[in-house]
Structure 1
Amino acid sequence: MGMREYGKIGPKFWIGETGKKLKAAGPIAQVTAMYLLTSPHANMLGLFYQPVLYLAHETGLGMEGASEGLRSCIEAGFCDYDPATEMVWVYEMAKYQVGESLTAADKRSVGVQNEYNALPVNPFLSRFYDRYGAAFHMSKKRVFDAASSSKTEGATKALPSPLEASNSSSSSNSSSNSKKDEANAFVDSDADAPGVDLLGNVHRIGKVTPPSGESDQHALPACPFNEIVAAYHELMPENPRVKTLSEARKRTISARWREAARLTCQPFGYATRADGIAAWRKFFEVCARSDFLTGKGKPRPNMPPFFADIDFLTSPSGFTNCLENKYHREVAA
């Protein structure tokens, strides 16, 4: 499906009950809601694939702001989001993009059903049909198979805060993101090819399996947040500065610290504080040589140059893509 030429937005966006809740939540919530209604990844159903990474980059909110805005939209009753499938459902969007209802003879009814049939498996399928099936004369309801996913409907409570995804989320995000171009759409990659780590070693990225009976966290020191942030500032001085080290950011960085300790690809895989700090310094050193991550890459039309911040680099998908060399072609060359 190609990008929509336009999206319909009614005046009640600003003055309706939900609009007032978004206003009370603040400008970030309003920007996020407006983005979802006009997103280049959206469809007429309002049920579409929308990684937080895209939202963060295309709005300029950053990962933390995008997650905050998305949570506010959910709390206002504007939408729901499933982190496992990265699908968003904007509840009333189909009503504005398609209409209040369609006649059985209206060809758009077939179009709605076809669009619905083509959607990836997600926990909002049956709820969408229950909401719009009769109004749009839809003919077939799809049921979400909970056994095929670790998430179920009502994903609001599972939304990371912000992007504090577990290591299993990192794996899920990597799989989902293979269906779409990443934020740097101009970079080509072969999803089936072995990974090339940050030091140019060609192999598939794996994780260290702890000895039998031992926890994978048994000897790992606490995450040195300040040292990691200091290394980021020192080695990527042109990128956005970390002005506040919030608890949410600490949780995200800590998740990546634990994940990186178990990796077998260079420069990661460590058991001591000193080795861990050295590995993260190498990580930022190589990231600093990436044109895309440092604002030197060719931007998308009508978009400013992209600069990766600490939230991007330590997000599950951003971190994984750095390790898989999607942003470092020139380094491995």
Structure 2
Amino acid sequence: MYTRVESRFWQDEKMRLVSDDARYLMLYLLTSPHRNVLGFYFLPEPYACFDLGWTTERFRKALGELLANGLVKYDETAHVVLIINFLKHNPLENHNQVKSATQKLDEIPKTPLLRDFYETVKKYADGKSHYSSLLERLEKLLGEQLEQQLPKQLHKPFGKQEKEEEKEEEEKEKEKEKEKEYRDILSSDETDDTRLTEDSLNDDDNKTINAITPKEVVELYNSICVSLPRVVTISEKRRKQIKALLKKIRDRTEIEAVFRKAEESDFLSGRSGKWNGCNFDWLINYNNFIKVLEGTYDNKEAKPKSWNVLERLYKEELEKEMNSE
């Protein structure tokens, strides 16, 4: 099958707002070997990562941009992707294509995205009678889904259902509290961690020349280590690890030095292709921190080929002199 990708794809406003990886992923989704005539198909992450030669992290980051811009929808449980405007640019032209598309529906795992796909088909089927069989099939599938869901809801004891709803509310409240805590950490100039660091200045065993907060440590890392995974959350565990590190080092220049060494190191930054496990948490581990600071992972300067030639010529001349003597 072929897919129509219009030249204005590259000038589309939403496409211009996303990263190169996100644009490349969108083009892949439109032309993927796993696609179908619906733009609604089964696509597990490992399939896409293998085709693209990407890590799971890189795939999820690019997919997140497409989701945020309303270009696609993705069901992580059923591994199904829906390209929102696929049928706009690749309409089903006749009854035969609709018949083929209807058969493809049976190959797609059960997913809540079926409702979204139904709304998409209704939108682009307006005034096109040959879409009617596809719409009927979708309505039947949606009815079957509803029938399967209703008995589960109706057979739940009222008290149990009420408890589950209360539990969901509690979980939502916890999430809100975590978000608030994170915002407070990032927005406050004087956090508990800052005061702890300042208190440590009075401790003879834990003196630091320049007090630095966990927030500033994270900002330093994000600004210097651009090749490594970006830190977006300062969890309680992470704050404790940063505090522990701050008590053991002399000043902020050591932190800057380690972050710069990590970014410049071909091995730690992943540029050498030998390892990609370096990240913020790995760097603030004290043992790893010291190794990086001492230059364990610095790039080794290889001898130029010309040097090897000169070295060989020198040895040959030396052997000739020894033989002549």
Scaled to the shorter chain, the TM-score interval is 0.3 to 0.5
Superposition TM-score, scaled by structure 2 size: 0.42
Superposition TM-score, scaled by structure 1 size: 0.41
CA radius of gyration, larger in: 2
Which has a greater percent of helix? 2
